């Protein structure tokens, strides 16, 4: 059962505007049910592309994760991705 949950685990790419700067985050946990978006992940370069589950897990394990709240008015875009685990 745990293996199936890991195969469909969602990852989020979230771009936000903070004052005059744009920041991009890659998160494994994102709560969008409130007036604020709460994400737990890492800041990445805006042009960075993550193409596999292994790469996603590596980024989240090796970089320092942050827990941040942003108002919805700051969110520029949010993309949800699911990667299939390689057999």
Tell me, yes or no, whether 28 lies in a domain: yes
Find how far residue 4's CA is from the centre of its chain: 20
The pLDDT value recorded for residue 6 is 56
Which tokens sit at 31?
């709560």
Domain limits at 61? Answer: 2-82
Tell me, yes or no, whether 87 lies in a domain: no
The pLDDT value recorded for residue 86 is 63
Q: Which residues contact 33 (CB under 8 A, 6 or more apart)?
A: none
Tell me, yes or no, whether 46 lies in a domain: yes
The pLDDT value recorded for residue 8 is 63
Q: What is the pLDDT averaged over residues 8-14?
A: 84
How many domains does the chain divide into?
1
Specify burial of residue 16 (Cβ count, 10 A radius: 0-12, 13-18, 19+): buried
Q: Regarding predicted confidence, which is higher, 77 or 10?
A: 77
Tell me, yes or no, whether 78 lies in a domain: yes
Q: Which pLDDT tens digit goes with each residue over 43-67? A: 999 888 998 888 998 999 999 999 9
Count the Cβ atoms, other than its own, within 10 Å of residue 25: 21
The pLDDT value recorded for residue 54 is 87
Tell me, yes or no, whether 9 lies in a domain: yes
């Amino acid at each position: 059962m745990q293996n199936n949950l890991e195969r469909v685990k969602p990852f989020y790419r979230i771009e936000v505007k903070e004052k005059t700067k744009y920041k991009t985050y890659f998160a494994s946990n994102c709560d969008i049910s409130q007036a604020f978006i709460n994400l737990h992940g890492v800041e990445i370069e805006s042009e960075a592309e993550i193409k596999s589950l292994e790469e996603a897990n590596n980024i989240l394990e090796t970089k320092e994760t942050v827990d941040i709240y942003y108002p919805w008015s700051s969110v520029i875009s949010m993309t949800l991705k699911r990667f299939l685990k390689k057999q």
